[in-house]
Amino acid sequence: MTSPQWTITPLTQENWSDFEAVMGERGGSRGCWCMHWRLSIAEWMANKGEGNKAAMRAVAGGAATPGVVGSLDGEPLAWCSFGDRADFPRMRRSPLLMPIDDQPVVSLACLLLRRDRRGQDLLAAWITAVCGYLAETSSIRTVEAYPVEPPHGRTAGPDTAMTGIASAFAAAGFIEVARPSFDRPVMRYQLP
């Protein structure tokens, strides 16, 4: 089986409609618009929906890209939010996601496949493509992820699956480096 050939573009104001297409009308899970880790819980709840959408649009207009949109055959299908841990204040305060050491990492904070393309074995290929992009654009060589590992025979809901699924990261070459809870490994990948 051949791996899909992703076209990856950093999120900007110019390709905002591609991001909207991936996120769907509801903005991902519960009006998040990928602001979950960037705001306090109170801010996130107050902004739910249109407020979070406007907040992410402002982030997309900044100097540093908040993430990338992935397309297959010209069709936007995937999103990945990444950055320095400092970009994600809520992550820094999470007892589950505290840094495990002082090594600089690119944090993969959120991964999303468009709703109609989930369950088609695209996630590991998307993770691999994002790492390929980071290998070309990031000076930091360690990528860190915080996926969920659902108990055997169960699936993760969208609220917990937003950080990705551990088996897809393993398939993309990530290794587990810590496990702060039974269903939350911390996984890393070394960029070439």
Q: Span 66-72, mean pLDDT? A: 96
Which one-letter DSSP state was computed for residue 114?
-
The answer to whether residue 18 is domain-embedded is yes
User: CA 72, CA 80: separation in Å to the nearest integer?
Assistant: 15
Given a cut of 60, whether residue 100 has pLDDT beyond it is yes
What is this structure's pTM?
0.92
**Dihedral of the CA atoms 186, 12, 135, 7 (nearest 10)?**
100
pLDDT tens per residue, range 2-29: 567 999 999 999 999 999 999 999 898 8
Burial of 158 per CB tally in 10 Å (0-12, 13-18, 19+): middle
Q: How would residue 150 be classed by pLDDT, with cut points 50, 70 and 90?
A: confident
Retrieve residue 36's tokens. 């979950």
Structurally, how many domains does the chain consist of?
1
Q: For residue 124, report the phi and psi dihedrals to the nearest 5 degrees.
A: -65, -40
Report DSSP state, residue 151. Answer: P
User: 123 is written with which tokens?
Assistant: 């996630």
Residues 6+ apart with CB under 8 A from 154: none
How is residue 67 written in tokens? 């993430």
* Burial degree of 142 (CB within 10 A; 0-12, 13-18, 19+): middle
- Averaged over 115-136, what is the pLDDT? 90
Q: What band does 165 get if pLDDT is binned at 50, 70 and 90?
A: very high
We report the CATH number of the domain holding residue 147 as 3.40.630.30
* 1 in a structural domain: no
Domain boundaries, position 48: 7-190
When pLDDT is averaged across residues 131-158 and rounded to a whole number, the result is: 86
pLDDT of residue 97: 87
Place of tokens 């989930």: 118
Query: Is the CB of residue 37 less than 8 Å from the CB of residue 92?
Result: no
Distance (Å, whole) CA 186 – CA 100: 9
What is the model's pLDDT at position 1? 46
Q: What are phi and psi of 83, to 5 degrees?
A: 165, -175
pLDDT in tens, 113-124: 988 877 777 999
Residue 17 lies in a domain: yes
Residue 2 lies in a domain: no
Using alpha carbons only, give the angle 6, 112, 61 rounded to the nearest 5 degrees: 80
Is residue 177 assigned to a domain?
yes
